[in-house]
Amino acid sequence: MVMKNGYLSGLYIGNALVNFYSTFGKMEDAHQVFDQMPQQDVFSWTSLLLGYTENKEMVRANEIFSKMPLRNEVSWAVMISGFVRGGLYVEALKYFQIMIYDGMVKPNEAIIVSSLSACAHLGALDQGNWINSIIDNNRISRGSNIASALINMYAKCGKVDLASRVFNQTLRRDVLIYTSMITGFSIHGLGNDALLVFNQMLAEDVKPNDVSVLAVLNGCSHSGLVNEGKSIFYIMETKWGIIPKIEHYGCYIDMLSRSGHLESAFETIKKMKMDPDKAIWRALLNGCRIHRDATKAELVINHIGRFYPCIGSSGGEVLISNLYASLGIWEKVEEVRKMMIGSSSSPGCSWIEVNGIMNEFRVGDALHPQMYEIRRELVEILKRLSEEQGYIATTTLVSFDVNEEEKEEAVAWHSEKLAIAFGLMSTPSGSSIRIVKNLRTCEDCHFVLKAISKVFSREIVVRDRTRFHTFTSGKCSCKDYW
């Protein structure tokens, strides 16, 4: 009606309509109003841009942005945060670089936080350091959001010492800053440090939230601090008024399972006030795998047989399949694999930053422009590990009834092995190598990375789906407890 009666001649009404339609995801209507407006201002363009990014239509969020006659800090923030929310972290950092080099707009807090988040996801330490220097050079205040983002970035880039430095330099610490530091220590397996910061937070009368408790429980889980974790879990509701969510139960079950308390973990699941989800069953099965408890694994598998459809694509069937494969029960492996048909699963993918450029590798990858040289390098690495460290591929969890040679071939081209071969080729001798992986590191890759750190005298830092591993002189910071 407004368009028919010609009321769009007013900028205010046009902007209101564009914003209204964008807010409710009606982007065709929003764009139609925008096109019929006799004139648009920065608010008009930004409203349309925000609508497309909120609806994750990033190809359209690019067309609009490229046509904008004037870009302010809000439009840049919308664009960069949109990429981050959509998981397009490389693109987010690319646009941040363009904005900085363009020099027309200075970054605000929202832009800085989004860009640091992209660095954290990618493990892009060099770019994270660069953004930190921009904060200092532009005298941007390190408020709670930026300080927390810096702590998170450094921790997830494997530099927990730098994360701790930012934390210690922050005089006014709220629950967000404390939680970021606790999380940083936890993902590095530094449970005692996480507990220390958690207790410091309590001593300073900063009340923990559900994320704080989850973070410290995670630290206890990855460090074997069972008694400490139990104490926190059982007082969180009465002392801090935090009702345990499914995530807290998942972390608690994971802690019990990893430490070998499989019976207690199973009994806790049975007594839960809510239905256990796939993550909880995965944690229990993972504990069975770690402690090679085939009897308990069979009991768990029989108990959750009716849950197969809901376990779905998130790794439950993979764990079950791996358990059967480790026992050599191939008919059961085949049975589980048939159930997995049609379910989506994430392929193994690893990233490594070299000279400020992110390089991506997938399991069995053939797309990297230097893949021929990388594969040749990897073959030589594995040969040297075999000669000097007695390396034999760990193939017990390869879920295929094939011969050993074929199993060794299956584990040889895992994404982190390709990334580490590229890292050894592309970085100076003796320098650290940092890798980010989207899945849990397998036993074979874990052994290989330990051996490489010794044979090639390199520090190797790997962030997998659950935690950090720092390999030095043939040992891992996780103490083979992951």
Last residue of a domain, one of 345, 365, 382: 345
Structure tokens at 295: 């009897």
392 shares its domain with 464: yes
In this prediction, residue 9 carries a pLDDT of 53
Q: For residues 38 and 20, what is the distance between their CA atoms, to the nearest angstrom?
A: 18
CA dihedral over 128, 130, 133, 138, signed as positive or negative: negative
pLDDT tens digits along 179-216: 999 999 999 989 999 999 999 999 999 999 999 999 99
pLDDT category of residue 320 using cuts at 50, 70 and 90: low
Sheet-wide strand order for 357-362:
357-362, 349-354, 433-437, 460-463, 468-472, 475-476
Burial of 439 (0-12, 13-18, 19+ CB in 10 A): buried
User: 168's torsion region: left (phi>0), alpha (psi -120 to 50) or beta?
Assistant: alpha
Give a yes or no: residue 173 inside a domain: no
Report the DSSP beta bridge partners of residue 471: 460, 476
Start-to-end Cα distance in the chain: 62
In this prediction, residue 481 carries a pLDDT of 74
Q: For residues 380 and 323, what is the distance between their CA atoms, to the nearest angstrom?
A: 31
In this prediction, residue 116 carries a pLDDT of 98
Burial of 177 (0-12, 13-18, 19+ CB in 10 A): buried
Closest CA to 422 of 440, 438, 434, 407: 434
Which residue range(s) make up the domain with 303?
A: 260-345
Last residue of a domain, one of 322, 345, 368: 345
323 shares its domain with 378: no
pLDDT tens digits along 254-288: 999 989 999 999 899 988 989 888 788 888 888 88
- Percent of the chain at pLDDT > 90 equals 51
How many separate domains does the chain show?
2
pLDDT above 90: residue 42 = no
Give a yes or no: residue 107 inside a domain: no
Give a yes or no: residue 318 inside a domain: yes
378 shares its domain with 452: yes
Give a yes or no: residue 268 inside a domain: yes
396 shares its domain with 455: yes
**Mean per-residue pLDDT, 44-70:** 78
**Mean per-residue pLDDT, 368-372:** 90
Give a yes or no: residue 220 inside a domain: no
User: Which of 42-51, 316-325, 339-348, 432-441 is the most confident on average?
Assistant: 432-441
365 shares its domain with 408: yes
Half-sphere exposure of 30 (CA within 13 A, CB side): 24
Give a yes or no: residue 462 inside a domain: yes
pLDDT above 50: residue 407 = no
325 shares its domain with 368: no
In this prediction, residue 323 carries a pLDDT of 67
Give a yes or no: residue 391 inside a domain: yes
325 shares its domain with 361: no
Instruction: Identify the residue with better confidence: 301 or 88.
Output: 88
312 shares its domain with 425: no
407 shares its domain with 449: yes
In this prediction, residue 340 carries a pLDDT of 57
In this prediction, residue 390 carries a pLDDT of 86
In this prediction, residue 408 carries a pLDDT of 46
**Mean per-residue pLDDT, 156-166:** 95
What DSSP string runs through 93-144? Answer: HHHHHHHHHH-SS---HHHHHHHHHHHHHHT-HHHHHHHHHHHHHTT----H
Give a yes or no: residue 339 inside a domain: yes
Last residue of a domain, one of 345, 363, 385: 345
359 shares its domain with 277: no
In this prediction, residue 343 carries a pLDDT of 52
354 shares its domain with 472: yes
331 shares its domain with 409: no
**Mean per-residue pLDDT, 20-49:** 74
Structure tokens at 333: 């492996």
pLDDT tens digits along 69-113: 888 899 999 999 999 998 899 999 999 999 999 888 999 999 999
pLDDT above 60: residue 344 = no
In this prediction, residue 339 carries a pLDDT of 63
pLDDT tens digits along 454-478: 999 999 999 988 888 999 999 998 8
